[in-house]
Chain A
Amino acid sequence: MIRFIKNIFLLSMLAVAGCSDKPLNSPYGDTEDDKVFYSSFQERPKHLDPARSYSSNEYAFIAQIYEPLFQYHYLKKPYELIPLTASEMPKLYYLDNEFNKTDNKSKAHYTKYILKIKKGILYQNHPAFYKKNKKYAYHDLSENQLANINTLKDFRQENTRELTSDDYIYQIKRLADYKNHSPISGVMQDYIYGFNEYKKKISKIKYGSHKERINIIRKSDISGVEKIDRYTFSITLKKQYPQFIYWLAMPFFSPMPWEADSFYSQPGLQKKNITLNWFPIGTGPFKLTENNPNLKMVLEANKNFRGEVYPSRKDKIINRKIIEHNNKKEVPFINKAIYSLEKEQIPRWNKFLQGYYDNSGIASDNYDQAISLNNSGDISLNKDLEDKGIHLTTATSASTYYIGFNMLDTVIGGSSERSKLLRQAISIAIDYDEYISIFANGRGIIAQSPIPPGIIGYQDGTNNYNKILYKIKNGTVVKRSIDDAKILLTKAGYNNGIDKKTGKPLILYFEATGAGADTYAFLNWLRKQFKKINIQLVTRVTDYNRFQEKMINGTGQIFQWGWNADYPDPENFLFLLHGKNGKVKFGGENASNYNSIKFDSLFKEMKNMENSPQREKIIKSMLDIIQNDSPWIWGFHPKSFSLSHKWVENTESNLMANNTLKYKKINNILRSEKINLWNKANFTLLYILLFAILIFIASVIIMIKKKDKEKIYD
Chain B
Amino acid sequence: MIKYIFKRIIYAIPILIGVNLLTFTLFFVVNSPDEVARLHLGNKRVTQEQITSWNEERGYNNPLFYNSSESGLNSFKETIFYEKSFKLFLFDFGMSDSGRDIKYDIKERMWPSLAIALPSLLVGLFINITFALFFVFFRSTKVDYLGVIFCVALMSISSLFYIIGGQYLISKLLHLVPISGYEHGYESIKFLILPVVISVIYGIGSGTRWYRSLFLEEIEKDYVRTAKSKGLSESAVLFNHVFKNALIPILTGVVVILPLLFLGSLIVESFFGIPGLGSYTIDAIQSQDFAIVRAMVFLGTILYILGLVLTDISYTLVDPRVRLK
Contact = CB atoms under 8 A, between A and B. Distances in A.
Interface of A: 13, 16-18, 23-27, 29, 44, 46-47, 54-55, 178-179, 181, 183-187, 203, 270-273, 275, 277-278, 292, 294-295, 340-344, 346-347, 350-351, 353-354, 356, 543-545, 548-549, 587, 589, 679-686, 700, 703-704, 707-708, 711-712
B121 interface: no
Nearest to B177: A25
Interface string B125-167: 0000000001001100001000000000000000000001001
Contact of B179 (A27, A187, A681, A712): A27
Given A186-B47, A682-B173, A545 B31 contact: yes
14 contacts: A13-B177, A16-B190, A17-B187, A181-B53, A183-B50, A342-B180, A343-B270, A343-B279, A545-B35, A681-B176, A682-B173, A683-B176, A686-B176, A708-B233
Given A203-B53, A273-B105, A683-B176, 9 more contacts: A17-B190, A270-B99, A340-B181, A341-B275, A347-B273, A549-B35, A684-B174, A686-B176, A704-B137
B187 A294 contact: no
Contacts of B105: 273
A356 B235 CA distance: 51
B172 A354 contact: yes
Contacts of A270: 95, 99, 101
Contacts of B44: 54, 183, 589
Given A183-B45, A700-B134, A27 B180 contact: yes
Report, nearest first, the 5 A-B pairs whose CB atoms are least far apart.
Answer: A294-B275, A27-B181, A27-B178, A545-B35, A347-B180
B46 A183 contact: yes
Contact of A25 (B178, B234, B271, B287): B178
Contacts of A589: 44-45
Contacts of A545: 30-32, 35, 38-39
A295 B42 contact: no
B175 A682 contact: yes
Nearest to B274: A295
A11 to B, nearest CB: 13
Given A271-B101, A294-B279, A295-B182, A185 B39 contact: no
Contacts of B138: 703, 707
Contact of B50 (A55, A181, A295, A346): A181
Nearest to A30: B187
Contact of B235 (A187, A294, A708): A708
B70 interface: no
Nearest to B287: A46
A54 B182 contact: no
Contacts of B233: 708, 711-712
Nearest to B37: A181
B179 A347 contact: yes
A117 to B, nearest CB: 27
Nearest to A351: B179
Contacts of B143: 703
Contact of B109 (A278, A294, A356, A544): A294
Contact of B186 (A16, A178, A353): A16
B152 to A, nearest CB: 20
B35 A25 contact: no
A181 B273 contact: no
